[in-house]
Amino acid sequence: MEKSASFQINPQNSARATTSVDLTNHLSARGLFHSDADAGTSASIKTKSNPESATATISGSVGADADLNIDLQSLITSELNSIYPATVNQSTSNKSANTSRFIGERTGKDKHFFIFTSAGKLVFSQWENESHAMGLTGIIHTVMNYFNINDNTSMKQFSMYDGDGIMTRFVFADKNHIKLMVQCSNNYESTAQLQQQLDLVYSYIISSVSQRNLNKLMMKRSNFDLQHYLTDLDQQLLQSLCDSLATQQKLTWFANSLECLPMTPKKRNAINTVLSSQYLDFNISNRNGQILYTLVTSLDMRLISILRPSNHTLHTIDLQILFELVQLQLTDLLLDKVLWFPICFPKFNDNGFLYALIKVLPNRTIIMVISSQKNAFETLNEFVGRIGDKLMEDVNSNNLEFPLLDWHKMFPCINHFVYKMKRTVQIYTPFQPTNEMLQYYNHLKNLCEDDQGRTLNKSSIAMLKWKNDTSPGQLSGLYWTTEKFELYILLNDINISNQSILRSAKRLIQHMREVESYLFISRGVTF
Amino acid sequence: MIPVRALGFGVSDLEERRFADASMSVQFIVLFRDDDDNKDDSCKSLLYHDLTQHVLSTNDKEQKIGIIKGMWRFSNEFSRNGKYCHFELESYSMIVLEVEPSYYCAIGFDSAYSSQWPKYLVQLSHCYQYFVMQQGKMRHIKDKTLSGLLNEHFIPYWDEVNLIPDYFLMQDINTAIDDRMFPCCQFSDALDGVSEVKEWQNYLKNNIILSQENYSNVKDVCIYHLPKNNNNTKEYGFVTNFDPQFRSLPVLSNWLVGIDSMYGTVSSHGLAGTMSLAETERQIELEAEEAQHAQPTNMKTVWDNVTLPISFTMDALKDIGQLTGVSNSLSLFTNMKPTWNPWSSSTENSANSTKNDEKDEYSWLISPLNPSFLPKVYQMRNFYLQFDTWSQYNVLFWKFKEVIAAVIIEPEFKRISEESFLMKLQEDLWNGISLFYENPGFEKRHCSFDYTILYKEESKYYSSIPFWKNGLDESDNALKLVIKGLDETLHFLTNNANRKSSIATVTEVGHDMSLTDHTVPTGPSGKEGDADQSTKNGTSIFGKLSESQLLELNKKLLIILGNRTLTTSYKDANSKERMIKLNNGLMVYLFENNTKLVLIVKNWFIDSQPKIRSKRSINMIESLGKDVTSWWNRIKDHEPM
């Protein structure tokens, strides 16, 4: 692997390069890097790259250089591939599911997010031409205000249908001081799902600014220019979030839940024990209250373990935002850097900031520690270091994942599935679905829900089959929802009786229940 | 801090408003025109009517029109060729429909019914289509005249809809599918794939359409079978017509069916368009009491629409008396036996029914034989219909038992007013329909599920799902029928506010020429059908539901059906099947391809049919049970039924 030439990082530059605003005078800045505690003293950082690849010495400023970033992205991708061959390149059985035949690829042109302040100032849009976007924002703003003032009501959505019944939908959200709209003509996302996405985007802004700051800024001057208040990095992150919502939505967003790394309970318990023992040690040494949450995840943001106060859980959206932030800066993290930034968890407390320390451990897992104290970096860094050491000592850190390998043989008619456990809001899927698969799952879910996301019944089964009358082959799937779980199944293109499909689905659910302790985290470690 | 008291008021106010609005589902109607070449960018308002009695300034109205148009144009930035639009707000919903290029129709309705918007859309489109059928395309009418005509057509139409609580929830699922679809009767031989032309059809064709004197003058005859009760949908709807080029068939059919469902029957007043629903005085009083503050505007004064001078109406009443063979004395007028009365109690009905049946077997409902003092619409209807091109035609309506025949005649044909021609026509119709009654051959086979099959090209649907019909279960007498002009005078002259004294409920303005040499055949459709119906009702899932359950089921079905539009963009998958099984017993199967749509509704709790064990069921429809499978195998290959 000779992708990266030999270059060096100057630690003084690295902090400025990745973020445009100084933490001391800008609370909302995030992504400030501290060099690794071990390597920080030396002038150059040696990355611990793949053992097979030649050791690369990196020098120069990293963050600001876009080309270099792209280069690094490809490096990371290839690295991820080598680490997780099973998840990225999982080969399925020979039978296909025909998704790409019936479902076209998404260009991203069918969905646009617009964000503006309640005074009508544009904050962000995905529209290519900004002056045109401003014009459109003006219309949206007028329309929303007209109904607010004249009819004392608010706009939820409007949909335009053409002669064939294909629609373009506009969904609105009026939050405190910020208004959002998404235009979407992809025909498979319901109003409820789009509203959920607007909420995610809004939460993302709040995670950077906090509701209290926003109120202060807007009360002082209602025509405050939020667009220029947000840092370049914020804008970049917002852009990347909206782009991925438009082109390649994530499974966790679709299912509104988190994904866990399947592991043997023994290994997970060992990690849990390390977390709790280290936490106790820390508290004994009089540093009580500095650590609020500790999360361990894999590099692809699948949860391994969580340490939390017994009376507080974190909201899924809060965690999704955190994971999104971390993933976008994974390039830097993999260079053995430590990420330290303030973050507001909108669903936890939208008025204040918490502080997160993120680091990649030597065993290729990410540890995230969240504190309520601004100046706890040193303490947290020490805590993370100790956990890292202990994990290397106690847990056989290679091959943490325990994949379900033989499910194809057990369920020959199933091409892909997603199982959601409603109690813990976690999902399991054998491998990440493609865009087309996700689109199809959206349709399956829509069968049993109305446009507002209300289910037809607590428990229902739906089947969907698409065919072309002139050529052989079909696309079919099944959706099963009860109070306890949701199951999405994409079937192989084989002729199979309905009874056997249902039987397979039943057996799959049974199997999922049997291996529940492998697939899901039921409580985590609490204190 | 908000004072608790103030907060309390706010909430109760809101609730009150909501309650008041809930009974008034449609809130406003707007029609406007937006010319492409208008320089000052303003829209021409053609009609703005607020049904909630809110007083709006011209400025307010223009603002709303402007905002509707603005949103329409805005959405066209993202997608071209928009045809209709649904706006959803917290407190109300709105449908906007471009009915003709640059002409827009919009209605606003309570957000409680927001999920029912496809039904509102279809209804709005129907309302427009009926307008065009009666008055012609909007773009051909001058603005000044147009506003008046729109006022006369749209406002009473939606006022009536608003009189009926939960009107749109009560409507069956078939009314939400498409604005061009109309119900058809089902015949057992067609179901079995035997598609031979029947004797009575041949008779009508040879004697009316193809006869030497009528040829090319009588364009078409459309036959409908519209029984009074709504128990058996399979025997309800369109039966046949003779010109395959008749493109306005859906509009005419839906218009007839709409009259039948709104007024409980098809009468000459309904066809002439002079009949309307109104609240009874008692109901208005009750509402006034409830509302505490009795508003005089709420009272439907009987004098608001007197179109006929009183002296003229005096003559009219006398003539009606003569026409129906009753003394022309006014005192006797209210004693006349009603020819039909959907509002009367069942005992009264049954007592009268035998006599009425004999007397009113057949008659012209709309024909030049009706007295000349009556408005022109009673002599013939002048409709804009499309065969090869749009043109005006004269339409006559004739009734025989439960069959309604619409005869479409070229406007140039002068013999239409001649009694001999009408006599001959009636005789031919009578003979033809008698043949039909001898062996109607309706589909009567029992099935434990409900279905709708819709053939897209023919715009026809065949359904077993019961439809809603007004006046069938009216025990509280909240509504009455009134005839424009005639009733008001009658009330004035007799000083009698009794609801039965409406002409609509007292007499029919039909002209029945007696055909003494013919005896009325007693068709086999009578008692056997009733017996069959009771067994059918026992198994159909709709027959067992209470009203609230029915509303709930209608809501759910609309959600399931509405979701199908989400997949319309996948053109490569031209045949889509879906099946949904809910834990409450509801099982719905939906199949759609380029030519048809099939909806099957079943209750899987009461599925007594043995499961197919012998062979593996590959097809999704086979999961619905043996009866559905065998029914499906019978009908799947031939169309329409």
Find which of A160, A164, A458, A482 to mutate to test the B interface (most B CBs within 10 Å of its CB).
A160
Model confidence pLDDT, tens digit, residues A384-404? 988 888 888 777 666 778 877
Q: Residue A186 sits in a domain of what CATH number?
A: 3.30.450.70
Cross-chain residue pair A460–B583, CB shorter than 8 Å = yes
DSSP string, B264-326: SS--HHHHHT-EEEEE-HHHHHHHHHHHSS--GGGS--TTTT--S-HHHHHHHHHHHHHHTTS
Alpha-carbon distance of A387 to A303, in angstroms, equals 16
B-contacting residues in A 3-22 (Cβ below 8 Å): none
Indicate the residue of A147, A187, A499 with minimum beta-carbon distance to B617: A499
Token output for A480: 């099963």
Q: Is residue B13 part of a domain?
A: no
Q: What is the mean pLDDT of chain A?
A: 79
Q: Which structural domain, as residue segments, surrounds residue A430?
A: 407-519
Residue range B316-342: average pLDDT? Answer: 37
Q: What is the pLDDT of residue B446?
A: 77
Residues in chain B closer than 8 A to A140 (CB atoms): 74
Split into its structural domains, chain B has a count of: 3
Lowest mean pLDDT among A467-471, B228-232, B490-494, B511-515: B511-515
Say which CATH number the domain at B63 has: 3.30.450.30
Same domain, A396 and A427: no
Do residue B41 and residue B185 come from a single domain? Answer: no
- Quick one: A351 and A435 in the same domain? no
CA nearest to B567 within chain A = A187
pLDDT computed for residue A108 by the predictor: 67
Do A185 and A225 share a domain, yes or no? Answer: yes
- For residue range A239-251, list pLDDT tens digits in order: 999 998 988 888 9
| Average confidence (pLDDT) over B260-267 | 86
Put simply, the answer to whether A469 touches B582 (Cβ < 8 Å) is no
Query: Looking at the structure, do residues A388 and A303 belong to the same domain, yes or no?
Result: yes
Instruction: Name which of A159, A163, A498 is nearest B86 (Cβ-Cβ).
Output: A159
Distance from CA of B233 to the nearest CA of A (A): 27
Same domain for A240 and A125: yes
C-alpha dihedral over A21, A26, A31, A36, to 10 degrees?
A: 90
B552 with B498, same domain: the answer is no
Query: Quick check: is B517 in a domain?
Result: no
Would you call A468 and B574 a contact, using CB atoms and an 8 Å cutoff?
Answer: yes
**pLDDT > 90: what percent of chain A?**
34
Q: How confident is the model at residue B536 (pLDDT cuts 50, 70, 90)?
A: very low
Q: Does A220 touch chain B (CB under 8 A)?
A: no
B614 touches chain A (CB under 8 A): no
A45-72: pLDDT as tens digits = 333 333 333 333 333 333 334 444 445 5
pLDDT band at A289 (very low <50, low <70, confident <90, very high): confident
* Residue after which a domain boundary falls, among B112, B144, B170: B170
Residues B158 and B184 in one domain: no
The percent of residues in chain B predicted with pLDDT above 90, rounded, is 18
> Which of residues B634 and B180 earns the better pLDDT score?
B180
Tell me the Ramachandran region of residue B265: left when phi exceeds 0, alpha when psi lies from -120 to 50, beta otherwise: beta
State whether A450 and A514 are in the same domain: yes
Q: How many CB atoms lie within 10 A of CB A458?
A: 11
> Is pLDDT larger for residue B522 or for residue A323?
A323
Q: Are residues B26 and B81 in the same domain?
A: yes
DSSP E strands, A119-219:
122-125, 155-162, 167-174, 178-184
- Clarify whether residues A378 and A481 are in a common domain: no
d(C-alpha A61, C-alpha B574), whole Å: 55
Q: What is the pLDDT of residues B569-580, one digit of tens each?
A: 787 788 888 999
**Of the spans B13-17, B76-80, B289-293, which averages the highest pLDDT?**
B76-80
Q: For A156, which of B74, B88, B556 is closest by C-beta distance? A: B88
Task: Please name the residues between 512 and 551 in chain B that touch chain A, using a CB distance below 8 Å.
Answer: none
B370-381 pLDDT, tens digit each: 888 888 888 889
Interface test with A, best of B80, B88, B615 (most A CBs within 10 A): B88
Give residue B194's pLDDT. 73
Q: Which two tokens stand for residue B300?
A: 């439907």
Same domain? B119 vs B216: no
Asked if A57 and A51 count as a contact pair (C-beta separation under 8 A), the reply is no
> Of the candidates B64, B83, B88, which has its C-beta nearest A157's C-beta?
B88
**Cβ contacts of B88 on chain A, cutoff 8 Å:** 155-158, 191
Q: Strand B26-33 to strand A338-343: parallel, antiparallel, or no bridges (unpaired)?
A: unpaired
The answer to whether A450 contacts B82, with C-beta atoms less than 8 Å apart, is no
The reply to whether residue A151 touches residue B578, judged by beta carbons under 8 angstroms, is no
Q: Is A446 on the interface with B (CB under 8 A)?
A: yes
Q: Which of residues 473-492 of A touch B (CB under 8 A)?
A: 475
Query: Is the same domain home to A284 and A394?
Result: yes
Q: Pick the residue with more confidence: B43 or A347?
A: A347
Assess whether A46 and A131 both reside in one domain. Answer: no
The nearest CA of chain B is from the CA of A258 a distance in Å of: 27
Contacts of B580 in chain A (CB under 8 A): 447-448, 456, 460-463
The residue segments making up the domain with residue B606 are 545-635
Q: What pLDDT, in 10s, does the model give residues B46-60?
A: 889 888 878 888 888
- Please tell me whether residues A156 and A277 are part of one structural domain: no
CA distance A239 to chain B (A): 20
- Residue-wise pLDDT for A429-470, tens only, equals 998 998 889 989 999 999 988 888 888 888 999 999 998 888
Count of domains forming chain A: 4
C-alpha B69/C-alpha B63 separation (Å) is 10
Alpha carbon of residue B286 to chain centroid: 29
**Residue B534 falls inside a structural domain:** no
Tell me which residue in B70, B78, B91 faces A151 most closely, judged by beta carbons.
B91
Q: How sure is the predictor about B609, in pLDDT bands with cuts at 50, 70 and 90?
A: low
Residue A3: strand, helix, or coil: coil
pLDDT at B513 over 50: no
Token duo for residue B618? 């590959």
Mean pLDDT of A217-239: 89
Q: A-B interface: how many C-beta pairs under 8 angstroms? A: 178
Report the C-alpha gap between B259 and B264 in whole angstroms. 8
- B542 DSSP 8-state letter: T
A461/B581 Cβ within 8 A? yes
Contacts of A134 in chain B (CB under 8 A): none
| Cα→Cα distances A166→A282, B84, B87, B312, Å | 59, 11, 16, 55
Neighbours of B426 (CB within 10 A): 24
Residue B305 near chain A (CB below 8 Å)? no
pTM of the shown model: 0.81
HSE (side-chain half, CA atoms, 13 Å) at A145: 13
Chain A (154-183) residues lying within 8 Å, Cβ to Cβ, of chain B: 154-168, 170, 183
Half-sphere exposure of A361 (CA within 13 A, CB side): 27
Burial class (CB in 10 A: 0-12, 13-18, 19+), A194: buried
Residue A312: predicted pLDDT:
82
| Residues B141 and B211 reside in one and the same domain | no
Confidence class for position A303, pLDDT limits 50, 70, 90: very high
- Could you tell me which of A133, A95, A98, A73 has the C-alpha nearest to residue A466? A98
Any domain includes B87: yes
Structure tokens at B560: 């399931």
A485 pLDDT more than 90 = yes
Is B155 found in the same domain as B197?
no
Residue A172: Cβ within 10 Å count: 24
Is the residue at B523 inside a domain? no
Q: Are residues B159 and B290 in the same domain?
A: no
Distance CA A426, CA B235 (A): 53
Read off the tokens for B152: 């006369």
Q: Which of B484, B506, B528 is the last residue of a domain?
A: B506
Task: Tell me, yes or no, whether B528 lies in a domain.
Answer: no
Residues of B in contact with A460 (CB under 8 A): 580-583
Residue among A151, A154, A466 minimizing CB distance to B570:
A466
Residue B93 has pLDDT above 70, yes or no: yes
Domain assignment of residue A382, yes or no = yes
| Shortest distance, CA A172 to any CA of chain B (angstroms) | 10
**Does residue B3 lie in a domain region?**
no
**Residue B57 forms contact with A (CB below 8 Å):** no
Same domain for B335 and B399? yes
Q: How confident is the model at residue B118 (pLDDT cuts 50, 70, 90)?
A: very high
The predicted model gives B485-502 an average pLDDT of 52
A475 to B573: CB separation less than 8 angstroms, yes or no: yes
More confident residue, B328 or A177: A177
Q: Is residue A2 part of a domain?
A: no
CATH label of the domain that carries residue A395: 3.30.450.30
Integer CA distances (angstroms), A47 to A340, A390, B134, B307, in order: 19, 21, 82, 94
Domain end call among A214, A247, A280: A247
- Among residues A247, A280, A298, which one ends one of the domains? A247
Give A 101-140 residues with CB within 8 A of chain B: 101-103, 112, 136, 139-140
Residue A388 lies in a domain: yes
Task: Determine contact, residues B408/B414, Cβ cutoff 8 Å.
Answer: no
Co-location of B422 and B285 in the same domain:
yes
| Domain termination residue (choose one: B453, B485, B506) | B506
Q: A404 to chain B, minimum CA–CA distance in Å?
A: 29
Residues A287, A353, single domain; the answer is yes
Lowest mean pLDDT among A337-346, B295-304, B557-566: B295-304
Does the residue B231 lie in any domain? Answer: yes
Residue A478 lies in a domain: yes
Cβ contacts of B175 within 8 Å, gap of 6 or more: B119, B122, B123, B467
Average model confidence (pLDDT) across chain B: 74
pLDDT bin (cut points 50, 70, 90) of residue A421 is: very high
Chain B neighbors of A447, CB-CB under 8 A: 560, 563, 578, 580
Across B14-35, b (16+ Cβ under 10 Å) vs e yields eeeeeeebeeebbbbbbbbbbe
- pLDDT score recorded for residue A505: 93
Segment B91-109 mean pLDDT: 92
For residues B213 and B362, membership in a common domain is answered with yes
Residues A438 and A329 in one domain: no
Pair B377, B244 in one domain: yes
